[in-house]
Amino acid sequence: MKIILFDIDGTLINAGGAGARALNHAVRAMTGHPAACQSFQLQGATDKANFENAYKAGAGRKPTRKQLAALTRKYVDRLPVEVTASIRAKKYLKVKGVEKFLIKLSGRKHVMVGLGTGNLKDGAFIKLEPSGLLKHFAFGGYGCDSHHRSEVLEKAVERAAKIAGVKIKRHEVFVIGDTHRDVEAAKEAGYHSGAVLDGFGDPRLIMRSNPELMAKNFVNLKPWLIWLGLVKDPKGVRRGTYICPDSPIEHAHYGRTGLDLRDIETSMKQLREAKKKVTRPGRD
C-alpha cells in the first residue's frame, strides 16, 4: 500500500490570499484590528495555530476557547466570499501539472491519495471546491486535528488505514508539500517527503530541510513517479546500489547520470588487474 498525502496551499492550488483575507476579516470583526495576518507567517502552519496568532495580534492576548470558536466560525463564513473574489480576480490557480498527476495516481489498486493540510476541514473543502480536484481525495488530516503538522499527517494515515482495513507502515507514506514545514513534519512522523518549489515556501529553507525530492511543480511527472516507486527508472539502475545512501532523489539523479556501483565495481576490477600486473610483472 502507498499513501500519498498532499498539502493544499501552494501544492495543489494557490487561492490568491483568500485564507489570509478571510482570517483578517474575522479578526477585524472581533477585535477591530484591520490586518492581523501581516504580523506573522501563515504558510506551513496549521489553521489552529494561525487563528490563535491572528487573534493575539488583534486583541493583544490569547483567545479563550469560546473566542477561538467564534473566530473559526467567522473565518469559515467569510472564506467562500474571498475564494470567489480570488477567482474573479484570476488569482485562484492550480499548481502546474497537479491535475494530470492526480489523474495518473487515481484508480491504482494499492495507492491511496489523501490530504495532509493545515487547513480546517471546512476551509480545505471550500478552498479546493472550485479547482475540481476534491474528487481525488478520499480522506485527509486537517488543521482541526492538531496544532502539530506531523500529528495532522498521522491522523490522515490513521483514517486511510481504517478505510483500507490494513496496517500502514511508515515507509509506505509519501508527503508532498511546498514549505520546509511540510518536509519537517513528514520527517518527524517517519514518512517520505517531497517538495514543490512553485508554492509559498522559501527555497533555501526547503533545501535545508532536505526533502527526498524537490521539483519546481508537477509538469514533469517522471521524478515524482520514480520517487513514489510507481515507474521504473528508465535506465534500469537498481535501487540501493549507489555509493551515496539510497534515497529517491539520488535515485533520480544517479539514474540520469548512470553512476552506479556496478560502474565502480568494473573500475575496481580493472584497477586490481592493473595492480597485479605491476606487482607481478614476470607472469605476463
What is the closest distance, in whole angstroms, from the C-beta atom of residue 174 to Mg ion in the complex? 16
Enumerate binding residues for Mg ion (CB under 5 A). 7, 9-10, 178
Measured CA to CA, the distance from residue 207 to residue 210 in angstroms comes to 5
Q: Which is nearer to Mg ion, 74 or 149 (CB)?
A: 149
Residue 225 CA, chain-centre distance (Å), reads: 15
The SS3 of residue 174 is strand
Per-residue buried b or exposed e for 41-72, using 16+ beta carbons within 10 Å of the residue's own CB: ebbbbbbbbbbbbbbbbbbeeebeeebeebbb
CB of 149 closer than 8 Å to CB of 182: yes
Q: What is the DSSP string of 117-140?
A: -SS-HHHHHHHHGGGT-GGG-S-E
Cα dihedral sign for 108, 112, 114, 116?
negative
What is the closest distance, in whole angstroms, from the C-beta atom of residue 179 to Mg ion in the complex? 5
Measured CA to CA, the distance from residue 254 to residue 242 in angstroms comes to 8
Q: Which is nearer to Mg ion, 13 or 237 (CB)?
A: 13
Q: Which is nearer to Mg ion, 9 or 250 (CB)?
A: 9
What is the closest distance, in whole angstroms, from the C-beta atom of residue 201 to Mg ion in the complex? 7
What is the closest distance, in whole angstroms, from the C-beta atom of residue 9 to Mg ion in the complex? 4
Q: Which is nearer to Mg ion, 45 or 57 (CB)?
A: 45
Q: Which is nearer to Mg ion, 30 or 54 (CB)?
A: 54
Q: Which is nearer to Mg ion, 10 or 141 (CB)?
A: 10
Query: 5 - beta bridge partners?
Result: 114, 175
Per-residue buried b or exposed e for 169-203, using 16+ beta carbons within 10 Å of the residue's own CB: eeebbbbbbbbbbbbbbbbebebbbbbbebbbbee
CB of 158 closer than 8 Å to CB of 167: no
What is the closest distance, in whole angstroms, from the C-beta atom of residue 178 to Mg ion in the complex? 4
Q: Which is nearer to Mg ion, 52 or 178 (CB)?
A: 178
What is the closest distance, in whole angstroms, from the C-beta atom of residue 272 to Mg ion in the complex? 52
What is the closest distance, in whole angstroms, from the C-beta atom of residue 66 to Mg ion in the complex? 29
